[in-house]
Structure 1
Amino acid sequence: MKTKLYVNSAKLTAGITMKDSDEFEFNNMALHACDEPSLILENRRKMADLLRMRLTDFVCANQTHSAHLYRVGAEDKGRGSTATENAVDDTDALYTYEPNILLCTFAADCVPVLFSNEKKGLIGVIHSGWQGTVKEVSLKLFEHLKNEEACNPEDFNVQIGAALSQEKFEVDEDVYLKFKALGYADEFMYQNPDTGKYHIDNQLVVKKQCELAGIPTGNISIDRTCTYMNPEGFSYRADKKSGRHMGFIVRRA
């Protein structure tokens, strides 16, 4: 089972599953975008075994490209792990202080963000497709954590996961104007004079949002794997029936 671990210590594990032809549905982890849900659950169970956890330790959301966030409590353990019906509803950012809960986010070109704050014992995940980025989901989440959870932004460590590259993220003027309206994304966009299309580096815009929230640049890492061009990537842009990567993070007790 192909999995990329960004962090793997005694106290913290964070990573992303990758496309794998040896697994069911190429290691698709998403119940909302699959051919056979039972096979996705087998993939998730195998992943749980690899992480020395149980499937009921997972917490997943029904992602809607929103800027909505949710604080996960012990009572939420298992939500969305085996069915979408009991997942955290209409949410694209999850965080928790609870140990031994695996927070999950699903993407196929969108930007997954995994973060931790060791001093506060806090971890979280963000799903930031282009719509979430122009809604500033990452910036709003970290501002919330600063203002409502008394977090020091300098204590966060952020991993931006594999996503669609700027070369392959080609958009029309309407999307370009939404990014331009942010006021800080211009340096991460260019227009192709031959096609008239705009190309946006969504990962770097998300990174900028983290920096605007006060997170030091040195605390932010980016996996530049392109989910469109890399054979281990799931890409909705390349295939509308694509499976999904699962970005995940857990703090061990």
Structure 2
Amino acid sequence: MREPFVMVEEKPFLRLLEWESRFPGLVAGFTMRTGGESEQPYGSFNMGLHVGDEAQHVVANRKKLAKQVEMPFASWTCAEQVHGNQVCQVVAAGAGRESLNDVISAADGLFTEQKGVLLTSFYADCVPLFFLDPVSGAIGLAHAGWKGTVHRIAEEMVKSLQLQHQTKPQDLLVAIGPSIGGCCYEVDERIMSQVRTCVRDWESAVTPPQNGRYMLDLRRLNTAILLELDIAMENISSTEWCTSCRTDMFFSHRKEAPIAGTTGRMVSYLGWKDQNQKGEGSAS
């Protein structure tokens, strides 16, 4: 399968090019670590306000991304992210764009059908899930670390889209973005005990153990969950980018934080442009 997340024109983000080409007005992608204002250990395109970076640097980076994807900064919307499986419908743009004080609380998934809302979610190894219903136009982002994955945040998103937008699973498109791969993600029996109960086909995502440790592919585990929800395999696009293998391109909490104590965050973004909005990144 062709890599869905593509670097274009040396910009500091990967575009979900197939979706953007197929659906005019849609912006979708995932940032990389370079090309921003942040100083070490957050160098340099850090998007997370919650990791100890200077807020003005983070906001400058967010404004730069908004400008480059031609969405107003006022459209930027994000949630608290607590490694759970709660998803929230977004009815107005702007939550959390400059401060944690007004972030959408206790949610790891956001969805909307409104234009002029840029959904965003933050990562440094966890799995970004992108959802698009071509029939209703509803879109969603979900943050799936191991906890969110085994508690089936993907299912919570699909159920919410079904309830609020009458989405049919067979119509739904899903993209799985850059994250730590099965090549690098080593887990113990404590995590595996939950992996075994989260989906029937869990074994497809696990390498047999050595010395009591397993290699877990969270992207494959989420794929197994999506297939169990009757989403067609041909409608699921999954990346090959591993954040731990490619710390020249991405932040990796698993690889970097044990050494430096912290690291920055990439952002996944997804939104429909509103032609009535100004597309400049410095709007407030």
Which TM class, normalised by the smaller chain length?
over 0.9
Deviation at 1:31, TM superposition (A): 0.6
Q: Secondary structure at the match of 2:148?
A: helix
Which residue in the other structure is 1:157 paired with?
173
Deviation at 1:21, TM superposition (A): 5.8
Which residue in the other structure is 1:179 paired with?
195
- Supply the AA of the counterpart residue of 1:50: Q
**Is structure 2 residue 212 aligned with structure 1 residue 191?**
no
- Supply the AA of the counterpart residue of 2:73: L
Which residue in the other structure is 2:15 paired with?
5
Which residue in the other structure is 2:282 paired with?
none
Deviation at 1:35, TM superposition (A): 2.0
Structure 2 distance, partners of 1:252, 1:155, is: 22
Distance 1:41 1:163, change over 3 A: same
Structure 1 distance, partners of 2:74, 2:164, is: 28
Which residue in the other structure is 1:252 paired with?
273
**Identity, % of aligned positions:** 28
Normalising by structure 1, report the TM-score. 0.94
Distance 1:239 1:86, change over 3 A: same
Contact 2:34–2:249 (CA under 8 A) maintained in structure 1: yes
- Supply the AA of the counterpart residue of 1:69: V
Which residue in the other structure is 1:233 paired with?
250
Q: Secondary structure at the match of 1:154?
A: coil
| Structure-to-structure mapping, 1:70-219, within 5 angstroms | 70-74=88-92, 77-182=93-198, 183-193=200-210, 195-219=211-235
Deviation digits for residues 38-67 of structure 1, max 9, x if unmatched? 101010011111011221101100000111
The worse-fitting range, judged by mean Cα deviation, of 43-52 and 6-15 is: 6-15
Deviation digits for residues 123-142 of structure 1, max 9, x if unmatched? 11000000000111101221
Structure 2 distance, partners of 1:29, 1:115, is: 21
Distance 1:29 1:55, change over 3 A: same
Structure 1 distance, partners of 2:63, 2:214, is: 41
- Supply the AA of the counterpart residue of 1:243: G
Contact 2:36–2:61 (CA under 8 A) maintained in structure 1: no
Which residue in the other structure is 1:35 paired with?
53
Distance 1:21 1:72, change over 3 A: closer
The structure 1 segments of at least 4 consecutive aligned residues displaced by more than 6 Å after TM superposition are none
Which residue in the other structure is 1:51 paired with?
69
- Supply the AA of the counterpart residue of 1:49: K
Unaligned runs of 5+ in 1: none
**Is structure 2 residue 24 aligned with structure 1 residue 14?**
no
Contact 1:143–1:213 (CA under 8 A) maintained in structure 2: no
The worse-fitting range, judged by mean Cα deviation, of 61-70 and 48-57 is: 48-57
Structure 1 distance, partners of 2:26, 2:35, is: 28
- Supply the AA of the counterpart residue of 1:63: Q
Contact 1:34–1:40 (CA under 8 A) maintained in structure 2: no
Deviation at 1:236, TM superposition (A): 0.6
Deviation at 1:143, TM superposition (A): 2.3
Q: Secondary structure at the match of 2:119?
A: strand
Structure 1 distance, partners of 2:164, 2:187, is: 36
Structure 2 distance, partners of 1:56, 1:244, is: 20
Structure 2 distance, partners of 1:148, 1:50, is: 31
Structure 1 distance, partners of 2:144, 2:238, is: 14
